[in-house]
Amino acid sequence: MTDTTGESEGADTGPGPEASPETGPDTGHGPGPAPGSGAEEGYTRGLSSRQIQMIAIGGAIGTGLFLGAGRAIHQAGPSLILMYAVAGAVIFVIMRALGELLTYRPSPGSFADYAREFLGPFTGYATGWTYWLMWVVTGMAEVTAASTYLAYWWPSVPQWLAALAFLAALLVANLASVKLFGEVEFWLSMIKVTAILGMILIGVGVLTLGVSAAGHTASVTHLWRDGGVFPHGIGNSLMTLQIVMFAYVAVELVGVTAGEAQNPRETLPKAINTLPWRIVLFYVGALAVILCVVSWTEFQPGVSPFVAAFARIGIPFGAGIVNFVVLSAALSSCNSGMYSTGRMLRDLAANGQGPRMFKRLTARRTPALGTLVSVCVMGVGVWLNYADPAGAFTYITAFATVAGVWTWGVILAAHIRYRAAVRAGRAAAAWFTAPGGAAASWCALAFLGLVVVLIGADSAARVSLYGAPVWFAVLTAGYPVMKRRNPAAFSRRPHLPPPAPEAPAEPPGTAPDAASR
């Protein structure tokens, strides 16, 4: 990474007083700052283990589950549980591949950095800008959705004013310090986790004890009795994979925190390894309980399955509770978007693949300018969603899925090339390896290819595939311009070499040879 000395708006010349002595995960090269570590980037390691774990958990729970699952249940029935399980297994493969790359070379711009090193400068450049755009457009949808949810309690508040207030509040949290961002995200994620756990416990109580108004109809047989597991056929169930994958967008956010985690060697692998139980609990478990309490035939598109389940059970103020949870989920997603866009813009600038002005850090070591510009672009989405709220949300989420699939595909492809470099002795081996190695990554890549095909087969989501070539045409046009300005920034990044083998120790008492004398 490019050194940041002299480029900050304050103290951007080192890890700072709050930085941990441990500046990066062990790469097998001894103590000290690892290449691409937080110390080299100028960030402070302000994210605690508690915050990293909750960011990882919250990244797996978004409005895709709370709202999008209603349409998916209507389309796939009980088989949606299987779709979430299969997609979750693929996501775990992706995250373990990312974990191996993170322990090989920790980097705040992880996705783009690994693409530059193993897939070439253009792929890294395109990945960085695509990931930035993904979070910008997602933020557009989420902040507008949050203002809509607020109208449940205060309908007289103008939507644009609520959206502006949410953007301003989250911007302050992101600009103040990474610790404040982590704390805000911790509590927003805690609300989502508590709501799902509460729903599961209440649902289990309804099933086992027969309590509430839904007690006499709740049954596990709803999973296969009302038309079967695949009531509309396997094809319709597969078509929900694009909705399912959108729900998982943001699980990779834990990789962006690599440069600001207090103990990345311990917290990042732990956050990745706990992903399977989070998927089983929050997605498979929650949906299974809901579909046992309420038959899938009673769910409708556009209605949160959680709202429907709470209403059927007869929980007092159930609609208000779910509205508060969904509001928190939207704000959490927008908060994460602000965090990641600022870091990605700074990573692009630090590597000479973006405007140099985004390279600067404030005295609090936050990429303020990149975050501020991203928020301004998100603000344009407030007007877009006001003009066509239903259509804009569909287009935005579809594009976010395509951009997410691109990012995940790049992670897998970089992991495959990394494994080849390790086998050839050109790159250092990571201590946190992905099970299945390159073969598992190839299988996950094939699955992502299927998702893209399914998006193309869906008339509502197909528009995102039309927009993707336009976006990459813009990137392709800008690439030679930026490359002429800074050719060195677009050279392939060298690998971290394996540690040199230690010389064999001489037996005690061996006399030095004549040459040494």
Q: List, as one string, the DSSP characters of 282-342.
A: IIIIHHHHHHHHS-GGG--TTS-HHHHHHHHHT-TTHHHHHHHHHHHHHHHHHHHHHHHHH
pLDDT in tens, the chain (517 residues): 333 333 444 333 333 333 333 333 333 333 333 444 333 456 666 566 667 767 766 666 766 677 667 788 888 999 999 999 999 999 999 999 998 998 888 776 667 889 989 999 899 889 989 988 888 887 877 787 788 788 878 888 887 788 888 888 888 888 877 777 778 888 888 888 888 888 888 888 888 887 777 777 888 988 998 888 999 899 889 988 888 887 787 777 776 665 566 676 777 787 788 778 878 888 888 889 999 988 898 887 767 788 778 778 877 777 788 788 888 888 888 888 888 888 888 888 887 888 888 888 777 777 888 888 988 888 776 676 566 655 555 566 667 778 888 999 999 999 999 999 999 999 999 888 999 999 999 999 999 999 989 888 877 777 777 778 888 899 999 888 888 888 877 777 788 888 766 656 555 555 555 444 4
| Vertex 380: Cα angle to 384 and 366 (nearest 5) | 145
Question: What Å distances lie between residue 265 and 54, 117, 262, CA to CA?
Answer: 17, 21, 9
- DSSP-derived 3-state class of residue 9: strand
**390 Cβ partners below 8 Å, 6+ apart?**
none
User: For 289-307, b where at least 16 C-beta lie within 10 A, e where not — what string?
Assistant: bbbbbbbbebbeeebbbbb
| Vertex 50: Cα angle to 49 and 56 (nearest 5) | 85
| Vertex 491: Cα angle to 487 and 494 (nearest 5) | 150
State CA 507 to chain mean position distance: 54
Round to whole Å and give the CA distance between 40 and 50.
24
Half-sphere exposure in the Cβ direction for 370 (13 Å, CA): 31
Round to whole Å and give the CA distance between 195 and 489.
46
Round to whole Å and give the CA distance between 316 and 309.
12
- DSSP-derived 3-state class of residue 244: helix
Q: Please answer whether residues 123 and 477 qualify as being in contact, where contact means their C-beta atoms are separated by less than 8 angstroms.
A: no
- Predicted structure pTM score: 0.80
- Could you give the angle at which helices 286-293 and 178-209 cross, rounded to 10 degrees? 40
- DSSP-derived 3-state class of residue 440: helix
Round to whole Å and give the CA distance between 331 and 54.
15
Closest Cα to residue 353, out of 259, 495, 258, 478? 478
Q: Please answer whether residues 37 and 23 qualify as being in contact, where contact means their C-beta atoms are separated by less than 8 angstroms.
A: yes
Q: Please answer whether residues 37 and 108 qualify as being in contact, where contact means their C-beta atoms are separated by less than 8 angstroms.
A: no
Round to whole Å and give the CA distance between 5 and 14.
8
